[in-house]
Structure 1
């Protein structure tokens, strides 16, 4: 089971959730207890400075991107790719995060502090990675945080066509293996790429209600927790 860290000293619960903006609060820290408290409230951290530098912003999108149990779209090309690649879980967490943080990527936001924060969460059993392999080469993957029935996806990457889609396919299988409809894969925002995989949007209010139900069930067994 994951190790519960010391509670945060920040009162994230006092942040107003009725603002018509995705950004809810600014400040606090990236200690494990703070980040977990944020996820349990429907928030996630991302820096406001250039390329994700401080100050830290705490976000709750007005329209939240989610991949639900019955929504994954598996195309014929994805089926072929699933057979072509190998998938592992939690074997190369640091390498997956490093690939997602590659400074050559456009829109990069994963800073050294973010990498360290999620590394600590991984050591405590909360953050997980899915790795996609072509032979001995790491060609894709994703990472995020599992809190109860919530998997909060943070970032993904690919170095081979469809490798990130295969990572999402594997994640969906892990999270929804028991068929529990209360589980949620949260992807933060619905991008055109994620929409092709079946990601839909929820209002902030609907998401927070669904989150309450998700947090009451245990994490998926596929992460070994």
Structure 2
């Protein structure tokens, strides 16, 4: 009677599956893809919020309203002297631009929208220019307002000139202070708005690894060729 080697049979058969029928599991090589991705939408808005646009926008609007009030104080008061600030109406159109810039700054601080930040950037630049004009013209009036008695036909005109000059100098001092403040605030908002717009325009390369159906982010990497899965028997 022949004896079979049961140990050999048990060695060739494992868990009921013949050794010849066994195969190794497929090995999947991770696939690396370099996917360019834009910066997060909230990132540029956070940069803009560093300028405190809500608070500075409120200050701009209040300053512009004070400037309009001082402009009405100059209205109709100059009868015998010439005033650049009064005749140019800079206290009205300049203050209007500042109010628009302040309103856009407040809105852009509340709503995460790039177009609002771009509009704020444009109007704060224009408001900076108008504020600069509002500084230069009163300074010119300071040097040009003089009351010389021979230039007037009567003493009453001379006294009127003195009264108008004293009143104008007080208003000019307030206008210069307000416009200096508006110029500094608009310049600060414009700087942060420009940084936010430039930050949104940059692309941040982001790399992902696809492995066994899962996606892993590994940070920026140079582009690599995609490898196809290989199976060994």
TM-score (norm 1): 0.20
- Compare the two structures and name the one with the higher helix fraction: 2
Higher relative contact order (CA 8 A, sep 6+): 2
Q: Which has the higher Rg, Structure 1 or Structure 2?
A: 2
